[in-house]
Structure 1
Amino acid sequence: MSLRINDVAPDFTAETTQGPISFHQWIGDNWAVLFSHPKDFTPVCTTELGVVASLEQQFAARGAKVIGLSVDPVDNHTKWAQDIKEVTGATINYPVIADTELKVAKLYDMLPGDAGDSCEGRTPADNATVRMVFVIGPDKRIKLLLAYPMTTGRNFDEIIRVLDSIQLTAKHKVATPANWRQGEDVIITGAVSNEEAAKIFPGYKTVKPYLRTTSQPQ
């Protein structure tokens, strides 16, 4: 099953480092960030889990819960967490899914259906495509998908930036330009007429007939 933006994020039950979860129930009325890893005790992923641990409060401030996934058992996750703390200084307080039967990886189209049903004997290279980020809204629909190569660590400041944009544009009739950051000007969407824009966004600027900017709404 190929997943796209605005598709309902597939629901699943799984074992995690914090016990069993039902994914949609776990999300509740929150936003969620699911980020996956090919295998425990891999170097790039070690740095990534530590960075997310250090940013967890920033995600929480935006109403977002974070959850990791790795194709290994819970016991391995727990041992790995000790290494992550030693390397990065950060304690992992968010759950990490133990996708030992590859069910979630297949459900989210990160591994093919014929990849088998066990993590045993699989190398990081076998699971190279299990390096994705999904941002999921309270409506349980996918808002963002990103896939990364094994040799490139993910930029989670960018994930927070995108989350800020998604939340802002879900609330107001605006879009955000390239490299936008909180507090910067935004773009008025094409669905808003000039007359309506004058009422909603007084003093807006017309750069081109199709490109109108305004201060970030609150």
Structure 2
Amino acid sequence: MYLPSAFRVEDLPHLHAQIDASPLAILVTLGAQGPEASHLPLLLDPQAGEFGTLHGHFARANPQWRQLADGAEALVIFSGPDAYVSPGYYPSKAEHGKAVPTWNYIAVHAYGQAEIYDDPQRLRALVSRLSERHEQGRAHPWSVDDAPPGYIDGMLRAIVGFSLPIRRLEGKWKLSQNRNAEDFAGVRDALSVSPEANERALAQRMTTL
């Protein structure tokens, strides 16, 4: 990922927090037929390894897992809020007109090689953890134990799990830090009153820089 110093984030707790806030990741590998990508819900174990370890599963019918089994390196992309930035947001535009559109966003890229497994007990534990995370707070949370055991056993045979220790971790918070204070405030204030929830969320992140 292109990382100008103004936008680079290296603080591990901040990177882990963004991973947790972006549970649906894009896992990319490069195989004999070219790049492949899958959208996967992942869990982060922040204490396992130098940068943490990611856990998830593929449908067994998805051939991409075989690339990981063969040792391919994976790039895992976690996307945060993003927003189009109009030159009209910059007070400096009225002074000299030297402004062009851009896009602000938050992204984390994780790299590593994965261990593939299909042990039923391990898969069941993974699926249970994923379900517990995304069912929490619901009035009637679903549990793996709610389904017939035979049905769950069949579902587990249809997936392949993986554990991916993060070897390299990159964070980019592109939030107009390269603009002067007035232009930065203009972008933040414009996004904060946007009708788009994603843009308001990005404005909120700008207030915490």
TM-score where L is the length of structure 2 = 0.31
**Which of 1 and 2 has greater Rg?**
2
Higher helix proportion (structure 1 or 2): 2
Higher strand proportion (structure 1 or 2): 2
Larger relative contact order (CA 8 Å, sep ≥ 6): 2
